[in-house]
Amino acid sequence: MASFTAGDNRRDLLLFAALGVLLLAVFMSQGTAYALRVTVEALCYALIAFGLSLQWGTAGLFNVGIMGFIAAGAFASMFISYPVNGAFWASDGPSLIGDIAVKIVIGAGLVFAVSRSGKLGLPKGLVTFLTLVTLAIAYLVVSQSLDPAARYIESEAGFVGGLGLPVYIGWGFAGVVAGAIAWVVGKICLGLRSDYLAIATLGIAQIIKTFLKNADWLTRGTQTVSPLPWPLPTASEIGFTAARSGYLVMTAVMLVIVYLLLQRAYGAPWGRMMRAIRDNEDAAAAMGKDVNRRRLQIFVFGCVLMGIGGAALIHFNTIFDPNGFLDLNHTFLIWVMVILGGPGNNRGAIFGALLVYIIWTMSEPVTLYIFDHIRTIGQSFGWQPPADLDSRALSMRVFVIGLTITLVLRFAPKGLMPERLSRKG
Amino acid sequence: MNELVFFINKGIFAGAIIGSIYALGAIGVTLIFGILRFAHFAHGDMMTLGAFVAYAMAAALAAAGVTAPLPLAMMMLPVVMLVTAGMAIGIDRAFYRPLRNAGARGIVLVMASIGVTLMLQGVIRLFAGPSSREMYFNERKDIFRIEVPGANQMITLTEPQIALFIVTAIAVVALHYFLSRSRLGKAMRAVSDNPSLAQVTGISIETVVRTTWIIGGGLAALAGTMLALDVSLKPDLSFNILLPIFAATIVGGIGQPYGAIAGGFVVGYAETLAVFNWSVLLRPIARMTDGAFEVPPSLAFVPTEYKLMVPFVLLIIILIYRPTGIFKGRVL
Amino acid sequence: MSLLEIRDLHAGYGQMMILKGVNLTLEEGEIGVIVGPNGAGKSTTLKAIFGMLNITAGSIHFDGRDITGMSPEKLAAHRIAMVPQEDNVFPTLTVHENLEMGAYTRRDDFSHVLDEIYALFPPLKDKRRQPAGELSGGQRQMVAFGRALMIEPKMILLDEPTAGLSPMYMSEIFDRVIAINKTGVTVAMVEQNAKQALAIAHKGFVLANGHNSYTDTGRALLDNPEVAKSFLGG
Ligand SMILES: Nc1ncnc2c1ncn2[C@@H]1O[C@H](COP(=O)(O)OP(=O)(O)OP(=O)(O)O)[C@@H](O)[C@H]1O
Ligand SMILES: [Mg+2]
């Protein structure tokens, strides 16, 4: 609930003060430039964590495809804001793509028409069958013309390039694309058992990533796209630290705005209804609430935040690299942030995001340091360490993430900053 | 004729091979879903764990100079299955049972299984490293060829592939007898049907849960090891194998072991035939009709890199049109 | 020494306390009937006897032994069986398998019990290979009964065995209960059809608001004008 008691505030303040000390330690020990990077990225993660906290904490929706929504948002923003590729527009590429687009529209129209042919009195099984057949044919036609077009674009122009629009439009579009994908997934899965949403989101994330990685004509694939435009005065204009600080301020402002909006929504009847649905779906449905529509709203909105967060993240690093999106870093790390911070509590999401991200980035050198010692000690006993010990060592971080999830679920299911519910009810 | 042989090798056999693997995995997932009521996300890595156990044992035996008529990893299968089953029970005790006893919702267990899968990934990669490994130690992978009259290509099957068909058949028959004849097997179906009534009847839920993990873990080890023997031991299979297995489970109907087997083969064949290059089969037809139509050099429904789309699309179609699966699973 | 002796039982679901002092005794060979309004805690009482919820105070003794909070597995060994109110068969198991499951805790030969049950419920014999989920409501009730009888219980707990059945089936079920009782099985039964049930009861208990407000012989409760007014619909 939005209303925090004085006791809650004191506790939160203490936790945040401890976090501040930790952050200060990072600034002192690692230098301003590095620490700024960690902080900005942590704030982007916090924005994404808001999305998950909204979905999981408020509505009990289980999204394990965060990486996909981040990647989709990142791509959308890259596409909007990256400079125009003249070679592509001068080639036959646009007309080829237009051609395919027309085929897609016609195909979709046909599939839709056939799927509605039940109105003509055809039996349901036949309609399903015909729909699937039409879908398969449309798919084959489109995919057959996609292939040569893709090859043509790659050889003539490299890739499609961007639209050269301002970055903030890109971020908005990032939210739109992520939200649109979420709408489709949610529409299919939200009426079913929650496990299905988990499976479907996991799948869609893998597929989005595979697509972005392989569609070289659109994304340059593994060759990556850089440098992405910077939304503020750049380092060459105002200096490195100032540019990063500017980005920090911008993400912080964005975060505060979203936080305030969410707090208001949580306190409003809308938030109460969501919690009612989460805590007792049957009762809420019996009260005549359209449970699935509410959930779809939440799911879409949460994914919009993830898309925007993903865009903010890649523009800061000024590179779009489809291979850089990882389940571990972009899905499970965020889960740890949310369940550790306290699902359903936005302060908890911010706190969790900052704390976990700092620990996460610091854990890499620490792990390597520890394993370096293990290597030295081991060698003195005649042990022959494997050549890839470093990359193996880093897999310990995967283990720790997994262990943290299971431990938190068992021993602190409400997280460090539990959701505060109003007395009544 | 060559084209037909190619189709048998790359279509029919390939589909049956991967279908068997999916079926073995999906049986475990569907039983766990039926008894414990959650989607076990750690199943893919449990398969890898089993394969890794087999690898470690075979490596140790090979180092000790042991030789056998069959590959060592295959010889050790019963032990590997037992060890993996024991590990599965241990994982349940440590991570799932406490949550169950605290009355956690199913979805919390799903989350916990994701935690477990990450832990398994971490441990496996720490010990096995990120690269693939061969399961054969100075051993030969026997290849069996059948000549086909009129073709200069041959129908080929490797030793692990034949072994896979045999062990899958044994596992399916054994499972059938277990579930339909044995006291414990019937008790498992009873718990899957109605857990609270099963409790009232005096069926020990703990025993049934333990049995579920033994079967699920054992079959996971079997599937993982056979897959590793057929191709190689890949430590990072995880979600790439998990998704088709989930798809097989849902296609077959959740909680339905026979459905899981059918679902495994449906998904396996769908995947194989979707990436199969149909030009191979069209070319002789074009030749016979004197080139009445032109055959593109490659005509596959889905490029190989998008193979994962196939189980996913199947899953989505099933969820839209028949969420209970082809065998009418009970949980929705 | 009574066969079943419940003293001042307090129990509930999680934090929510439903039973606030239930007292109930049954002698061997008796039929005890529990009646009361919906939500009074009748089913909850049976579940509490059967070790399915947390008991905060009070005790349950059976055959001289303390069985308070004992797990259902152990209760089966003490030869207590229960037929729950709803979902009381395994729908995908055949009728025969349902009965076999009833004997899950038995390690001896129970084929004679199976024969007795098929004799008691002849329709089940024809349907023995059919999944229980495909049976009619009355037949399902018989399966549920039969399943509970498989351990040859000393006491059987029945939760509304006639719920949702037509009047014809209803009296048939009551006849079966009497027949079972005649073989020496003590019966504790929750019933909505209070009048018929109390008529066959040796003892009746009226449960309201989590404790029993009246306890008497079945006959006496039926004749009690206050009970009749507030619980039996006049
Ligand atoms: N599983 C449960 N969890 C929480 N509360 C429950 C549960 N089952 C029943 N209750 C509550 O316990 C109270 C008593 O329920 P119980 O089922 O014992 O009633 P009953 O007397 O059997 O009613 P009926 O005649 O309708 O069967 C009710 O208020 C009910 O809401
Ligand atoms: Mg009741």
Taking the CA of residue C76 as centre, how many other CA atoms within 13 Å lie in the half-sphere pointing to its CB?
Answer: 23
For ligand 1, atom 19: residue with the closest CA:
C39
Q: Is the pLDDT of residue B309 over 70?
A: yes
For ligand 1, atom 9: residue with the closest CA:
C44
Task: Report how far apart, in Å, the C-alpha atoms of B275 and of each of A132, A145, B14, B82, B301 are.
Answer: 18, 17, 11, 36, 6
For the packed helices A167-189 and A194-214, what is the interaxial angle rounded to 10 degrees?
A: 140
Q: Which of A41-50, A227-236, C208-217 has the highest mean pLDDT?
A: A41-50
Radius of gyration of chain C (CA): 17
Q: Is the pLDDT of residue B331 over 60?
A: no
Count of domains observed in chain A: 2
The pLDDT of A345-370, averaged and rounded, is: 91
Give me chain A's average pLDDT, please: 89
Domain membership flag for residue B127: yes
Please indicate, yes or no, whether residues A18 and A101 belong to a single structural domain of this protein: no
Reported as a pLDDT band with limits 50, 70 and 90, residue A198 is very high
List, as one string, the DSSP characters of A305-332: HHHHHHHHHHHHHT-B-GGG--HIIIII
Question: What is the reported pLDDT for A424?
Answer: 37
* Contact between chains at C105 and B202 (C-beta distance less than 8 A): yes
Q: Is there an atom of ligand 1 within 6 Å of C38 CB?
A: yes
Reported as a pLDDT band with limits 50, 70 and 90, residue A405 is very high
Give the one of A195, A202, A396 whose C-beta lies nearest to B122's C-beta. A396
pLDDT digits (tens, 9 = 90+) for B44-53: 999 999 999 9
Q: Which of A114, A137, A158 is the last residue of a domain?
A: A158
Residue C77: domain span: 4-231
* Contact between chains at B194 and C76 (C-beta distance less than 8 A): no
pLDDT digits (tens, 9 = 90+) for C123-175: 899 999 999 999 988 889 899 999 999 999 999 999 998 887 788 888 888 88
pLDDT digits (tens, 9 = 90+) for B245-260: 999 999 999 888 999 9
Closest by Cα among B176, B158, B156 to B168: B176
Backbone angles phi, psi at C17, to 5 degrees: -85, 130
Reported as a pLDDT band with limits 50, 70 and 90, residue B329 is low
Domain membership flag for residue B23: yes
Give the residue from chain B lying closest to C133, CA to CA. B193
Interface chains of chain C (3 or more CB pairs under 8 Å)? B
**How far is residue B130's CA from residue B207's CA, in Å, rounded to a whole number?**
37
Please indicate, yes or no, whether residues A258 and A338 belong to a single structural domain of this protein: yes
Please indicate, yes or no, whether residues A61 and A203 belong to a single structural domain of this protein: yes
Q: Is the pLDDT of residue A423 over 70?
A: no
**How far is residue B65's CA from residue B56's CA, in Å, rounded to a whole number?**
14
Give me chain C's average pLDDT, please: 89
More confident residue, B295 or B105: B105
Q: Is there an atom of ligand 1 within 6 Å of C44 CB?
A: yes
**How far is residue A420's CA from residue A6's CA, in Å, rounded to a whole number?**
12
The pLDDT of C178-182, averaged and rounded, is: 92
Question: What is the reported pLDDT for A425?
Answer: 33
Domain membership flag for residue A118: yes
Q: Is the pLDDT of residue C100 over 70?
A: yes
Task: Report how far apart, in Å, the C-alpha atoms of A367 and of each of A139, A355, A402, C111, C176 are.
Answer: 48, 18, 16, 65, 72
Is B102 buried (19+), middle (13-18) or exposed (0-12) by CB count in 10 A?
exposed
For ligand 1, atom 13: residue with the closest CA:
C39
Domain membership flag for residue A288: yes
Question: What is the reported pLDDT for C4?
Answer: 94
Domain membership flag for residue A425: no
Domain membership flag for residue A420: no
Residue A314: domain span: 6-85+159-411
Q: Token match 């719920």: residue?
A: C163
Please indicate, yes or no, whether residues A73 and A215 belong to a single structural domain of this protein: yes
The pLDDT of B147-167, averaged and rounded, is: 89
Domain membership flag for residue B252: no
Q: E-assigned strands of chain B? A: 143-147, 154-158
Q: Which of A126, A158, A190 is the last residue of a domain?
A: A158
Question: What is the reported pLDDT for A168?
Answer: 94
**How far is residue C21's CA from residue B62's CA, in Å, rounded to a whole number?**
70
Count of domains observed in chain B: 1
Backbone angles phi, psi at A412, to 5 degrees: -140, 60
The sheet with strand C65-66 has its strands ordered as: C16-26, C4-13, C54-62, C65-66
Q: Token match 């620990």: residue?
A: A359
Question: What is the reported pLDDT for B131?
Answer: 85
* ipTM score over 0.85, yes or no: yes
Reported as a pLDDT band with limits 50, 70 and 90, residue B284 is confident
The pLDDT of A392-408, averaged and rounded, is: 90
pLDDT digits (tens, 9 = 90+) for B202-249: 999 999 999 999 999 999 999 999 999 999 999 888 889 999 999 999
Reported as a pLDDT band with limits 50, 70 and 90, residue B92 is very high
Q: Which of A105, A140, A158 is the last residue of a domain?
A: A158
In this structure, are residues A71 and A322 in contact, taking their beta carbons and an 8 Å threshold?
Answer: yes
pLDDT digits (tens, 9 = 90+) for A120-175: 888 888 888 888 889 888 988 888 888 889 999 999 898 998 999 999 999 999 99
Q: Is the pLDDT of residue B201 over 50?
A: yes
Question: What is the reported pLDDT for C233?
Answer: 63
Q: Which residues pair with C25 in a beta bridge?
A: C5
Q: Which residues pair with C207 in a beta bridge?
A: C212
More confident residue, C122 or A49: A49
Count of domains observed in chain C: 1
Q: How do beta strands C155-159 and C4-13 pair?
A: unpaired
* Contact between chains at B331 and A395 (C-beta distance less than 8 A): no
**How far is residue A80's CA from residue A73's CA, in Å, rounded to a whole number?**
11
pLDDT digits (tens, 9 = 90+) for A76-97: 999 999 999 999 999 998 999 9
More confident residue, A161 or B85: B85
* Contact between chains at A210 and B240 (C-beta distance less than 8 A): no
Please indicate, yes or no, whether residues A384 and A397 belong to a single structural domain of this protein: yes
Size of interface B-C (CB pairs under 8 A): 61
Question: What is the reported pLDDT for B332?
Answer: 41
Question: What is the reported pLDDT for A1?
Answer: 43
Question: What is the reported pLDDT for A384?
Answer: 82
Closest by Cα among B126, B231, B219 to B172: B219
Question: What is the reported pLDDT for A4?
Answer: 66
Question: What is the reported pLDDT for A289?
Answer: 64
Q: Is the pLDDT of residue C106 over 70?
A: yes
User: What share of chain A has pLDDT > 70, as a percent?
Assistant: 96
Please indicate, yes or no, whether residues A299 and A385 belong to a single structural domain of this protein: yes
Q: Is there an atom of ligand 1 within 6 Å of C203 CB?
A: no
Give the residue from chain B lying closest to A214, CA to CA. B305
Give the residue from chain B lying closest to C151, CA to CA. B201
Q: Is the pLDDT of residue A216 over 60?
A: yes
Q: Which of B38, B41, B109, B118 to mutate to test the interface with A (most CBs of A within 10 A)?
A: B118
Q: Which atom of ligand 1 is nearest to the CA of C40?
A: 21
The pLDDT of C186-195, averaged and rounded, is: 90
**How far is residue A64's CA from residue A202's CA, in Å, rounded to a whole number?**
5
Question: What is the reported pLDDT for A421?
Answer: 63
Q: Is there an atom of ligand 1 within 6 Å of C15 CB?
A: no
Q: What is the pTM of this model?
A: 0.91
The pLDDT of A106-110, averaged and rounded, is: 93
Give the one of C14, C87, C100 whose C-beta lies nearest to B186's C-beta. C100
Residue B85: domain span: 2-240
Query: Peptide bond before A227: cis, by omega within 30 degrees of 0?
Result: yes
Domain membership flag for residue B290: no
Q: Which atom of ligand 1 is nearest to the CA of C207?
A: 21
For ligand 1, atom 24: residue with the closest CA:
C38
- Contact residues, chain B, for A189 at CB < 8 Å: 319
Q: Is the pLDDT of residue B321 over 90?
A: no
User: What share of chain B has pLDDT > 90, as a percent?
Assistant: 63
Question: What is the reported pLDDT for B330?
Answer: 57
CATH of the domain at A200: 1.10.3470
Q: Is the pLDDT of residue A31 over 80?
A: yes
Residue C74 tokens read as 């152990």
Residue A260 tokens read as 């305030």
